[in-house]
Structure 1
Amino acid sequence: MDFDFDPTTLELRERLTTFMETHVYPAERIFEEQLDSSPDSWNPPPIIEDLKEEARRQGLWNLFLPGESGAGLTNLQYAPLCEILGRSPHIAPLATNCAAPDTGNMEVLHMFGTPEQKKEWLDPLLDGSIRSAFAMTEPAVASSDATNVETSIVRDADHYVINGRKWYISGAMDPNARLLIVMGKSDPDADRHRQQSMIIVPRETPGVDIRRGMKVFGYDHRDHGGHAEIVFTDARVPAENMISREGDGFAIAQARLGPGRIHHCMRLIGIAERSLELMVTRASGREAFGKPLADQGVVRDWIAESRVRIEQIRLLTLKAAWLMDTVGNKGAHTEIQAIKIAAPATVEWILDKAVQIHGAGGVSQDFPVAAWFAQVRTLRLADGPDEVHKNALARNEIRKVRSHAGA
């Protein structure tokens, strides 16, 4: 395994770092001021459009997507770039068109969409002129098991009719989220993993009722589109809106979540790095019991431990990315699950220490660590909770040992 940056990565890394320092970091305060000035709006702050225009001009656009439709980068090339984007997690991914859930939806349409679906929905998503949402989680069932979804997708002549209730549908409160990719059951009598389908539902479809924005630890996350509760009541869409074929929904979800999980982990490393920097800055500038916090033994232990943990999860992320490039997502399954378990828990620990060092400021709105903590804690649930990944990892380890013993 060779994790050295190749010339393409080095050049993009330098350009992206300059873009962050010149445009993104200075925009953070403006971003917050614009949010505060429009407390009832779900539109992104206007500064985002300015940043998007600059990112597109500099060629820092769709970095996440391989092939001709995107930047043509491998997962290993994208990893250090995504880490840099994670240093300003509510701004930089949006500014470069690399924000979830749009990234996952673009990947789905790129891999499984028809030419007509790509023209109508993928092209404007790639251009950044619209946004999207992915509707899977439901309040009435344990959505950690995707086969539990109860939303129905029923064929009626040349249409499908959707009925059901979803919540925590990220990005859906943004008025520019023009389409929802909805996962539901199209055949409850089929094999357990062939019951589900995915279908494109335009936002304006009659019967789509976006009820409310859901909060996460008190945060509404309207800075990046919020999280919606949506009720579908006889929402009717053309049959050609089906993605791939009926019964492919579960397989599509697995294909979508693999890259999405590791992208989250890449960004988390950026959050961790910036949290450590804030930790050191705060500890160096505050004095308690006659000496700076940075000279207190327990604080130095936290700083040192943070560095060790960051390096550990970075190496595991790079290994997972390298495997995805060399043996495919299925071959990298163990490492993707492992980093999805390790990264949120590790960065949660680092942020906890950052909050502690900041004292009262650490739980306030004057520093970003409280909001980051809420975001990172949520990722121990999103894209599969820790326990599901641990169970799958353990099952694979048991199978390997028993297979070896049997041989």
Structure 2
Amino acid sequence: MTFQMERRGISDRALDIADRVERFVRDQVVPLEPQARNSAHGPSEALSDRLKDMARAEGLMTPHILDDGDHLSQRETAAVLIRSGLSPLGPLALHVCAPDEGNMFLLGKVASPELKDRFLSRMTRGEIRSAFFMTEPAQEGGAGSDPSMMQTTCAPDGNHWVINGRKTFITGAEGAGMGIIMAKAEEGACMFLVDLPDPAIRIDRVLDTIDSSMPGGHAEITIDNLRLPADQMLGEAGEGFKYAQVRLAPARLSHCMRWLGACIRAQEIAVDYVNRRHAFGKPLIDHEGVGFMLAENAMDLKQAELMVYWCADALDSGSQGSVESSMAKVAVSEALMRVADRCVQCMGGQGVTGDSVVEQVFREVRAFRIYDGPTEVHKWSLAKKIKRGWKDANPA
């Protein structure tokens, strides 16, 4: 049995894009996977540039963003991004990986025409990567899962703003061409766009993390008296958290889409392995301990896919999506962790070597359970909403 990806309710145009993406990833990107394991901090810029050139040649750069600048629906985007994730290099090649995909979505929704022309157009063409500067060092009491703890400050100075602070886990900052910085002013949180590199933004170190799929890795940053023109602020002062919400729910869901694709591929590899490998007189698949794990994977993968499309439909219907995306983030990340773990287990020693991409998928999905909000934070948030709903239904 092979995994049949959802096609219902998706336009022929989107399905054509999705099918082209799948062929491109399987035929052209997958053979380059061994080259991506040379750095603990993600694929090299040279490999990234090569992959993007390949995608351009196929007319697949940012394939979910149409020629007129409009986006596919979230349901249609799911069909495309799931297939992009069939290789950890796929989202990079197609320029739909984090944080770029979320940043492009945000700028497309809220940036002024001038900022779109200056920043967004270069991103959609894949000419530059981007970074999103929000998380701060925990040891310094900064913002992590609780953005209200933000300590990075911004203050007006004539027709400029001056920003100071520290950031951490800033994905892709090294090598990025632009960034979105969150800081707090007297009015509340603010967002700014900045060209990178900038001498006022110093990369102190690139962290050694369990994952290795994103170019530039995850950096610790010091922002020292960064001066930006007032017209590089997104919207108005104090609206930063509102704009973060615009970005947050779709970005969480995009993570689910991409890593679902990766685990579908891991399942394919594991299934092929256990059908070819023999032990104790028969193929591994015929041992219940192995076969049952793959059966459980098939169920987890399908349930994760259904959760992705359920959340996508909610966003397409106009919901802000905070509840739905929290549910999807928890359900999908936990299901995919089980899938990746079982794939490793089924493959035994082969599953923990770099000879197969399954080992990398396991590492990446383990990090995914934390990135964009740990499972426990989302459960806590959902529990608060459940309590509030009960109180609303049972007033004192």
TM-score, with length taken from structure 1: 0.88
Relative to structure 1, the CA distance from residue 67 to residue 196 in structure 2 (aligned partners, 3 Å threshold; closer, same or farther) is farther
The answer as to whether partners of 2:256 and 2:332 remain within 8 angstroms in 1 is yes
The equivalent of 2:68 in structure 1 is 68
Q: Unpaired segments of 5 or more residues in structure 2?
A: 1-6
Matched, 1:292 2:283: yes
SS of the equivalent of 2:234 reads coil
Aligned length: 387
Deviations 1:78-120 (A, max 9, x none): 111111111112x111211212111111122222222222222
**Which residue among 240, 244, 247 is the counterpart of 2:238?**
247
Deviates more, 1:203-212 or 1:336-345: 203-212
Report deviation, 1:405: 4.5
Report deviation, 1:125: 0.9
The residue type equivalent to 2:46 in the other structure is: P
Deviates more, 1:222-231 or 1:244-253: 222-231
SS of the equivalent of 1:224 reads coil
- Aligned CA RMSD, in angstroms, stands at 2.3
The answer as to whether partners of 1:213 and 1:227 remain within 8 angstroms in 2 is yes
The equivalent of 1:49 in structure 2 is 49
Relative to structure 1, the CA distance from residue 223 to residue 245 in structure 2 (aligned partners, 3 Å threshold; closer, same or farther) is closer
Report deviation, 1:149: 1.1
**Which residue among 97, 104, 107 is the counterpart of 1:106?**
104
**Which residue among 112, 129, 132 is the counterpart of 2:130?**
132
Matched, 1:238 2:229: yes
The equivalent of 1:352 in structure 2 is 341
**Which residue among 175, 198, 202 is the counterpart of 2:195?**
202
The residue type equivalent to 2:341 in the other structure is: D
The equivalent of 1:14 in structure 2 is 19
Deviations 1:298-322 (A, max 9, x none): 1111011100111111111111111
The residue type equivalent to 2:387 in the other structure is: I
The residue type equivalent to 1:92 in the other structure is: G
The equivalent of 1:274 in structure 2 is 265
Q: 2:226 and 2:119 mapped to 1: Cα distance?
A: 19
The answer as to whether partners of 2:15 and 2:79 remain within 8 angstroms in 1 is no
Matched, 1:25 2:30: yes
Report deviation, 1:404: 3.6
The equivalent of 1:211 in structure 2 is 204
Relative to structure 1, the CA distance from residue 56 to residue 213 in structure 2 (aligned partners, 3 Å threshold; closer, same or farther) is same
Report deviation, 1:261: 0.6
Relative to structure 1, the CA distance from residue 166 to residue 19 in structure 2 (aligned partners, 3 Å threshold; closer, same or farther) is same
Report deviation, 1:227: 0.9
Q: 2:182 and 2:249 mapped to 1: Cα distance?
A: 17
SS of the equivalent of 2:177 reads strand
Report deviation, 1:172: 0.8
Q: 2:29 and 2:234 mapped to 1: Cα distance?
A: 36
The equivalent of 2:256 in structure 1 is 265
The equivalent of 1:180 in structure 2 is 179
The equivalent of 2:155 in structure 1 is 154
TM-score, with length taken from structure 2: 0.91
Q: 1:393 and 1:154 mapped to 2: Cα distance?
A: 35
Q: Unpaired segments of 5 or more residues in structure 1?
A: none
The answer as to whether partners of 1:45 and 1:223 remain within 8 angstroms in 2 is no
- How many percent identity over aligned positions? 35
The equivalent of 2:384 in structure 1 is 395
The answer as to whether partners of 1:55 and 1:61 remain within 8 angstroms in 2 is yes
Report deviation, 1:47: 4.2
